[in-house]
Amino acid sequence: MSDDDLTAEKIAQVRDKRCKSSAEEFLDALTGVITPLQRELFAQVLKTINEQTVQIERIEALIKKHTTEAYDKAAKAIEVIPGIGRISAEQIIAEIGTDMSRFPTAAHLCAWAGVAPGNNESAGRRKKGKSLKGNKTLKKTLIQCARNAKNNKNTFFYAQFQRLVVRLGKNKSKGAVAHSMLIAIYNVLLGKQFIDFGSDYYTQFNREKKINSHLKQLKKLGWTPESPEKNSQVA
């Protein structure tokens, strides 16, 4: 590889967006540092990457050629669920298929996938249990989708993760989100519409019960709805 092969434009194409330095600064930093042997090795690595990229594109084209309309429709249907992109949707459908009649309930699908919480009960008391092993490929994809979904602050999955992470930790909380996502996928593939409960779901949950609870606390402090003068004294 000659000095002319390495340009700022080529560096800009592969530079990570998180890098603060510009492509020009990278080029200046590399001047006089890379030996001829290193340049040849880099050239071989880039050649391998390019060959693998072409191979991946060929395989993707082959998959699309033999993908049925039902699979494509199912993948598009579950893309509406936060955290699921096109590639993840295709991977999920490739593992579970499009016919949900094989699974009597969403719980059966979750158990098969390995994202259902373990059941450990003794003497009427439920204890902590490990999740089932299940389908490793599917479980890995769902956990990745859960990781994406929990970062979207406008979704129910974000609220669910935030509610559980303090008590269960990050890994188990992501598993719980993945479990909820697979239940949503199951219902979407049954033809039901996906409805996101929103990030304020737990705030609004049992709203009337919470209001009554707060009113009881206020009354214990001497507050009454009929006595505004007394209320001002309490405040």
Identify the pLDDT of residue 126: 46
Name the residue among 144, 139, 141, 114 with its Cα closest to residue 129.
114
Strands (E), the chain: 120-122, 125-127
Q: pTM surpassing 0.75?
A: no
Q: For residues 59-92, b (16+ Cβ closer than 10 Å) or e, as one string?
A: eeeeeeeeeeeebeebbebbeebbbbeeebbbbb
**What are the 10-residue block averages of pLDDT along the chain, 235 residues in total?**
68 86 85 79 92 92 82 92 93 92 93 77 48 82 94 92 91 93 95 88 74 83 68 49
